[in-house]
Amino acid sequence: GAVVSQHPSWVICKSGTSVKIECRSLDFQATTMFWYRQFPKQSLMLMATSNEGSKATYEQGVEKDKFLINHASLTLSTLTVTSAHPEDSSFYICSARDRGAGARSNQPQHFGDGTRLSIL
């Protein structure tokens, strides 16, 4: 089945550091990937939709200059949390859908294992 790999799985760093998280589709091509954030005991909240070869689409309230998204190839999207602060500490998860399944087909999104980000 479709596999999505996310790296790193855990990051601890000082306030002010920028952190890059990678999301890769291992056995399929994904023109679209999604980035979510999950706070403790809360559900997943969509942050942005990453589009291969074009600009990401951000959800309301998500700062695009703070959360930089790059989707340079059909198998890789990156999320960079710039100048991270303690309030950015959260669980970040990406997902992707198999492009080969067709834009309107009902294939589920598959999730990476997530990145736990802790800012000191």
Partner 1 sequence: EDKVVQSPLSLVVHEGDTVTLNCSYEVTNFRSLLWYKQEKKAPTFLFMLTSSGIEKKSGRLSSILDKKELFSILNITATQTGDSAVYLCAVLRGSEKLVFGKGTKLTVNP
Q: Which residues bind partner 1 (CB under 8 A)?
A: 6, 9, 32, 34, 42-46, 49, 93, 95, 97, 106, 108-114
Work out how close the CB of 3 gets to partner 1 at its nearest, in angstroms, rounded to a whole number. 11
Work out how close the CB of 101 gets to partner 1 at its nearest, in angstroms, rounded to a whole number. 12
Residue number with CB closer to partner 1 (11 or 93): 93
Residue number with CB closer to partner 1 (16 or 108): 108
Work out how close the CB of 8 gets to partner 1 at its nearest, in angstroms, rounded to a whole number. 13
Work out how close the CB of 32 gets to partner 1 at its nearest, in angstroms, rounded to a whole number. 7
3 in Cβ contact with 95 (< 8 Å): no
Sequence-distant (≥ 6) Cβ neighbours of residue 70 within 8 angstroms: 50, 77, 78, 80
Please enumerate, as own/partner, the contacts of 37-44 that have beta carbons within 8 Å and a separation of 24 or more.
37/90, 37/91, 37/92, 37/93, 38/90, 38/91, 38/92, 38/93, 38/114, 39/90, 39/91, 44/93
